[in-house]
Amino acid sequence: MLKQHRRALAWLVGLACIAGAVVALFDIETPLRPFLISLFLLVVPGAAVVGLLRDRDPLAALSVGAAASLVLNVLLAEAMLLFNAWSPRAGVATVAVLGGFMYVLRVLYRGKSMQTEQGARAR
């Protein structure tokens, strides 16, 4: 029962993050705009980092994910200001691309570790 609630919550947060990216990229005016975009910018990088730390202590992984999310957003904002290229759309797109890249790394990492585990079991 608890696993179903976690899965439903994960889907809800994921859909809210997608909505936040769409709202930012297409400049859609809605009262939920600040909440959805903030949720996207804080959750996507953190979730990607937590996915890479799959065999760690859950509290430590969550802490590292939250810190990585804040660091990524601050460094991105500083870089855009430094190069005089401030663009909220570009920031959201960059976070989406980096989150996708980390997701691909996670899939490749899990595939490699699964093959290693299967090879170890065969011996």
Q: What is the pLDDT along the chain (123 residues), one digit of tens a residue?
A: 788 888 899 899 999 999 999 999 999 999 999 999 999 999 999 999 998 887 788 899 999 999 999 999 999 999 999 999 999 999 999 999 999 999 999 888 877 665 555 555 555
Domain that holds residue 8: 1-30
Segment (H or E) for 86: none
Tell me: do 41 and 20 sit in the same domain.
Answer: no
The length of the chain in residues reads 123
C-beta separation of 95 from 76 below 8 A:
yes
Tell me: do 112 and 94 sit in the same domain.
Answer: yes
Tell me: do 46 and 71 sit in the same domain.
Answer: yes
C-beta separation of 43 from 68 below 8 A:
no
Tell me: do 80 and 39 sit in the same domain.
Answer: yes
Tell me: do 24 and 10 sit in the same domain.
Answer: yes
Q: Which of 107, 101, 37 is nearest to 73 (CA)?
A: 37
The tally of domains found in the chain comes to 3
Model pTM?
A: 0.82
Q: Which of 48, 26, 24 is nearest to 37 (CA)?
A: 24
Tell me: do 19 and 60 sit in the same domain.
Answer: no
Tell me: do 43 and 63 sit in the same domain.
Answer: yes
